Amino acid sequence: MGGSLNANHLLFLGQGALWTIGLSAIALIGGGLVGFLIALARVSPNKLVRLTSGAYVQLVQGTPLLVIMFLGFFGLAALGFPMTPLAAAGASLTIYVGAYFGEIWRGCIQSVPRPQWEAAEGLGLSRTQRMLKVILPQAVRIATPPTVGFMVQIIKNTSLASVVGFVELARSGQIINNSLFEPFLIYAIVAVIYFALCFPISLLSRRLERRMGVGRAKLMPT
């Protein structure tokens, strides 16, 4: 066996954790952009746009992220478009996260009370103005807790980028384990690092949810 766990190994895990954070940021930004467009398309007045975006969401939500990763890495390479692990993982996560954000945010847009839409229309605002000035500012408030909650899913899901050879936290754990063969210790450390990344975000999302509940209760006429 290759000796025991030392500071270099921990440093390597730390580097992996940084890549996990980086990949999560890529997925959050990319998926956020795609998700925003999908959410708008899902409430579009055009039926074809609604159907297409709905089909996208259904297809992606019915497919495991792992298969999307394989498709992006091995699949595209076999077609003659070789991708680097980072590009394949980033693109797959963007597609995946986009579908989920799209669905979450569609719900938020639609949960803005009906009279708000009607009042905006009655004030003679155009559709774009209605969206930007009336609906979206309110939808963003409703969307904050579930969006923060979904960030935990994003961080956990970046672990699947390890299967296409992207060296993030889970993969660096695997690499170290291959030389030391102490799976319990190493994967426990990896799990603890993931927990340290995710748990504060979980707590934040729960607190936001509670505060939202209070805010909404205050808004309700008695």
List of residues contacting other proteins (CB under 8 A): 58-59, 61-64, 66-68, 70-71, 74-80, 152, 156-157, 159-160, 162-163, 170, 173-174, 177, 181-184, 187-188, 190-191, 194-195, 198-199, 202
CB 24 within 8 A of CB 97: no
Q: What share of the chain is helix, strand, coil (3-state, %, to 5)?
A: 85, 0, 15
Residue closer to other proteins (CB basis): 79 or 122: 79
- DSSP designation for 221: -
State the nearest-atom distance from the C-beta of 175 to other proteins, in Å. Answer: 12
Q: Which is nearer to other proteins, 133 or 210 (CB)?
A: 210
Minimum gap (Å) between residue 70 Cβ and other proteins? 5
At residue 53's C-alpha, the angle toward residues 48 and 55, to 5°, is: 95
CB of 121 to other proteins, least distance (A): 29
Which is nearer to other proteins, 54 or 75 (by Cβ)?
Answer: 75
Give the whole-angstrom CA distance, residue 116 versus residue 120. 6
Q: How far is the CB of 21 from other proteins (least distance, A)?
A: 14
Q: In the bound complex, what is the minimum distance in angstroms from residue 116's beta carbon to other proteins? A: 26
List C-alpha distances in Å: 196 to 116, 162, 175.
Answer: 41, 19, 21
10 Å CB burial of residue 69 (0-12, 13-18, 19+) is buried
Which two three-digit tokens encode residue 143? Answer: 């969307």
Output 120 or 173, the one with its CB closest to other proteins.
173
Query: 200 or 215: whose CB is closer to other proteins?
Result: 200
Helix (H, G, I), strand (E, B) or coil at 4: coil
